Each structure stands twice: as C-alpha cells, then as structure tokens.
C-alpha cells in the first residue's frame, strides 16, 4: 500500500510576477521548506499543545488538529473533542484559548472545527445535526446555518456565500454533490451532483465497498466497520475538492481528473481535463490489508461492543465479533482485481493562486511532484520535490496553509524531547 504523495500543481489563474517566481523555484527540481526560526519561538509547546497527549479509547488522538489563517496572518488551531480553540498572533506567539459564547457569558459545550471566514465571521463544520455555527473573532455567537446532509469540504466565497461538498445516503443510491449556500438566507443551489448505486447485502450493509460490514443487534441498533475505507469494487472513490481563485469556484474531481470552473453564483463557465495517471492497489496488497483486519478483530475482546451501542449482552456481543471475522475471511476470495487510485489524493491552494494536486505515489517514500499550468488548455512544466530537514511533513490542507508567500504548518519536529507538535512557518526556497 502506498502512503506518501506525489504532488501535482495546476494553475487556474493568469500569470503574475509572484506566481512566475514560484514557478521558477519549482523548476529548480527541489522546493526546500525552511523553518522561520523567529516565528513562534517563545511558545511553551508542552503547555500550548498539551492536548497533543489526548487519547480516545486508549488511542492517541491529540494530533487531530487543524489550522485556519486570519487575514492578518494570525492563526487559529482547532482541537478535536475540545470545546475551545487556540489563537496565535501573526508572529506565531500564543495569545489565548477561546470558546464559543452565546450571550450573557453562556458558552457552548460542544464546538466544531472552524472551517473558514466570511465577512469577518468564523464558520464551523456542521455538527451531527447539520448545524454550522457562526461567530466573531472574539468567540461571540452570531448565527446558525443548517445543512441537512453530511459534508466533506467547505470553502468561503467572496460574495457572502459558502461552497460545500455534500453527500447523502438514499435508499438505493449514494448522492455526492456541490452546493452553494447563501450566508444571509441559508438558501442553497446545487451546481453539481453524481449518483452511485447501492448494492445492498448482509443485513443492509453495502457491497459497493471493499469491504464494508454492518451488524444489527436485536434491540440496540448496529455497529459497522470497513477494512478499506472509500474503496469501491471498481476503484477508490473520492469526493470533489473545492477552491476559490480570482472570483471563480474550482471543482476538481479526483476520480477522473476533471476541473469544472463556475462563477460565484454557480454558473458553469468551462470544463478542463487533467491528463494524469492513477496508480493501483494490487491484489496482493489488498489481501494483506484484509489479513491485517482479520487479525485485528481476532485479537479484540468480544465484549468490546458491550456498552458501545447500549446494553448488549455478552452472547449478542460474541455473535457480532464472530460475524465480522467470518465475513472478512469469506471476502478474501473475492479480491481478484487491482483497485484504481484517484488521480490525486488532496488539493492545496498556494498564495499565488496555484492549485497543488497531491497524487498517490508509485513508490513508498516518494515525494515528487509534477508542475502543470492551466493556460491554453493546460501544459506540463516540470518535475520537482519537497525537501524539509527538520519536520515530518503531513501534507494536508488542514495542516499546511499558504499565506503571503509563506507556508504555515501544524507539523511534528523530527528530533526533540517531549511534545513534538509545532506551529511553524516555512520559507519556500530553491536551495
């Protein structure tokens, strides 16, 4: 199974002087990320990021954090399962922890990760009830937007609207779509959608995933697991990625490499095709993943479901445990074809209006990227690679954000004692 990404860059705007400078750096063959030693240098990381040591069900989860950049270069860090955020000034100095307040000093007990800013107002990802909370930079509650579906990506638009990648499970289909939500009225316009059939079997589970298992208890609901998340029988399916560049909304489809360009009101302006090659998960790799899942469940306490879904008895919990193992073993013989990866795994917008498309690598440990410029139909420019001596790079848009020519990251230091998590600002150089 391949883990580290190859990176591809696509330009969705006309050249500027600064973007030409970035292209020149990419053309050197290596993009070196150099930490700004003066940035965030006075922070006590053991205190500032003490939540790094958080666990959930005895498993580490303190690195489940993300960052948001404010217009002035300040940074907000989201802490998963905590009801507060951390604010850092433009030079990286810790300022305070703050929560969401709703009048008379009353504070929300449950906060979701901040996803963006519109009209100098934060908005969060929706909670389990579809509530997207909006509040000012001091944490004062402003309003609530409501979505009646699950979300994958959210991007603020400059016309007081928010673009959302949504998905929903229908009786016989999965629906993936992109919607534009009006911040003022909460009204929505769907601008793109795609349906996938649900081939149901196994007590209501879906056979479209390799492999998704659902077990329903007699009285207390059900539990499920997936050995290969997002893996369909005909390939790994991924939902679209969004970006807003030069008053245009870019919808990039990882499954086929298609780029759709909309205006801010959702009118389709053009379509472009990235001629990118996808890699595969071999039959042997799939079986290895399945074997590991089987051994994992065999080593679990059969009573692990007791209390997780309610007052499930020991006998019923044992049945669930046996079911998962048996179903996984039966599915080993059904792995007969390679699985296609999407043409890219994630996308990041840099500060010059370039889009960075991260592709699944052909070799483990590879860190190469191909540079493309979207001009006159799109053209390949060069191949290069990232180099960072000090940090273990976790390349995700939630962990790396461009701002004014710098790359801000929430990354772990390679060599340090104690807490390795850092808020870091990288200089982008060619040597």
| Coil, helix or strand at residue 79 | strand
What's the pLDDT score for residue 67?
97
pLDDT at 293 over 90: no
In a domain, 326, yes or no: no
In a domain, 212, yes or no: yes
What's the pLDDT score for residue 146?
97
Question: Which residue is associated with the tokens 């196994």?
Answer: 202
In the chain, the N- to C-terminal Cα span, in Å, equals 31
What's the pLDDT score for residue 362?
63
Q: What percentage of the chain exceeds 90 in pLDDT?
A: 42
pLDDT grade, residue 408 (50/70/90)?
very high
pLDDT at 181 over 90: yes
17-52 pLDDT, tens digit per residue, is: 444 577 788 788 788 999 999 999 999 999 999 999
Question: Which H helix or E strand runs over 232?
Answer: strand 231-232
Least confident of 131-145, 213-227, 237-251: 213-227
151-180 pLDDT, tens digit per residue, is: 999 999 999 999 999 999 888 888 999 999
What's the pLDDT score for residue 51?
95
Q: Which of residues 196 and 121 earns the better pLDDT score?
A: 121
In a domain, 305, yes or no: no
CA-nearest of 399, 409, 402 to 66 is 399
DSSP secondary structure string for all residues of 127-189: -TT-EEEEE-TT-BEEEEEE-SSEEEEEEEETTTEEEEEEEEE-SSEEEEEEEEEETTT--EE
pLDDT at 299 over 90: no
What's the pLDDT score for residue 379?
58
> What is this structure's pTM?
0.83
Backbone angles phi, psi at 204, to 5 degrees: 100, -5
pLDDT at 245 over 90: no
Parent domain of 419: 6-282+338-429
In a domain, 380, yes or no: yes
In a domain, 301, yes or no: no
What's the pLDDT score for residue 234?
45
What's the CA gap between 370 and 277, in Å, rounded? 12
In a domain, 293, yes or no: no
pLDDT at 94 over 90: yes
In a domain, 329, yes or no: no
Q: How remote is the C-alpha of 353 from its chain's centroid?
A: 20
Q: To the nearest whole number, what is the mean pLDDT of the chain?
A: 83
60-84 pLDDT, tens digit per residue, is: 889 999 999 999 999 999 999 999 9
Question: Which H helix or E strand runs over 423?
Answer: strand 421-429
**CA angle, residues 123, 81, 394, in degrees to nearest 5:** 80
Number of domains in the chain: 1
Q: What is the CATH number of the domain that holds 120?
A: 2.120.10
Residue 195: count of CB within 10 angstroms of its CB: 12
What's the pLDDT score for residue 1?
44
Q: What percentage of the chain exceeds 70 in pLDDT?
A: 83
> What number of H helices and E strands is found in the chain?
4, 36
For 396, counting Cβ atoms within 10 Å of its Cβ (0-12 exposed, 13-18 middle, 19+ buried), the class is middle
What residues contact residue 58 under an 8 Å CB cut-off, 6+ apart? none
DSSP secondary structure string for all residues of 47-76: HHTGGGG-EETTEE-TT-EEEEE-TTS-EE
pLDDT grade, residue 206 (50/70/90)?
very low
In a domain, 346, yes or no: yes
pLDDT grade, residue 236 (50/70/90)?
low
Least confident of 49-63, 109-123, 206-220, 331-345: 206-220
């Amino acid at each position: 199974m391949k883990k580290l990404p190859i990176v591809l860059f696509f330009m969705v705007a006309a050249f500027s002087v600064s973007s030409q400078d970035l292209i020149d750096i990419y053309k050197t063959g290596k993009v070196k990320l150099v930490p700004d030693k003066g940035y965030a240098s006075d922070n006590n990381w053991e205190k500032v990021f003490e939540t790094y040591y958080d666990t959930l069900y005895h498993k580490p989860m303190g690195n489940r954090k993300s960052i948001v950049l404010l217009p002035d270069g300040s940074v907000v860090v989201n802490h998963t399962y905590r009801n507060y955020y951390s604010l850092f000034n433009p030079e990286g100095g810790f300022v305070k922890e703050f929560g969401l307040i709703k009048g008379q000093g009353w504070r929300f007990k449950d906060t979701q990760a901040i996803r963006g800013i519109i009209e100098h107002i934060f908005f969060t990802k929706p909670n389990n009830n579809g509530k997207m909370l909006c509040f000012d930079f001091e944490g004062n509650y402003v309003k609530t937007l409501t979505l009646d579906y699950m979300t994958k990506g959210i991007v603020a638009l400059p016309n007081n609207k928010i673009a959302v990648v949504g998905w929903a499970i229908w009786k016989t289909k999965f629906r993936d779509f992109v919607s534009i939500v009006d911040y003022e009225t909460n009204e929505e316009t769907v601008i793109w959608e795609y349906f996938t059939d649900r081939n149901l079997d196994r007590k209501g589970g879906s056979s479209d995933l390799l492999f998704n298992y659902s077990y329903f208890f007699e009285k207390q609901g059900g539990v499920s697991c997936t050995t290969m998340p997002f893996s369909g029988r005909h390939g790994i399916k991924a939902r679209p990625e969004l970006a807003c560049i030069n008053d245009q909304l870019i919808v990039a489809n990882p499954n086929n490499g298609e780029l759709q360009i909309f205006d801010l009101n959702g009118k389709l302006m053009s379509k472009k095709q990235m001629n990118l090659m996808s890699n595969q998960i071999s039959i042997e790799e799939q079986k290895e993943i399945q074997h590991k899942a089987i051994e994992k469940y065999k080593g679990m306490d059969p009573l692990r479901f007791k209390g997780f879904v309610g007052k499930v008895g020991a006998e019923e919990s044992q049945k669930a445990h046996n079911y998962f193992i048996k179903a996984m073993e039966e599915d080993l013989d059904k792995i007969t074809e390679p699985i296609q990866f999407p043409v890219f795994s994630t996308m990041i917008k840099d500060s010059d209006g370039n889009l960075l498309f991260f592709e699944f690598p052909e070799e483990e440990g590879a860190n190469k990227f191909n540079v493309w410029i979207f001009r006159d139909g799109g053209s390949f420019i060069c191949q290069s690679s990232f180099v960072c001596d000090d940090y273990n790079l976790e390349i995700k848009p939630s962990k790396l954000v461009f701002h004014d020519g710098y790359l801000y990251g929430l990354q772990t230091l390679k060599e340090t004692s104690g807490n390795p998590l850092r808020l870091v600002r990288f200089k982008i150089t060619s040597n």
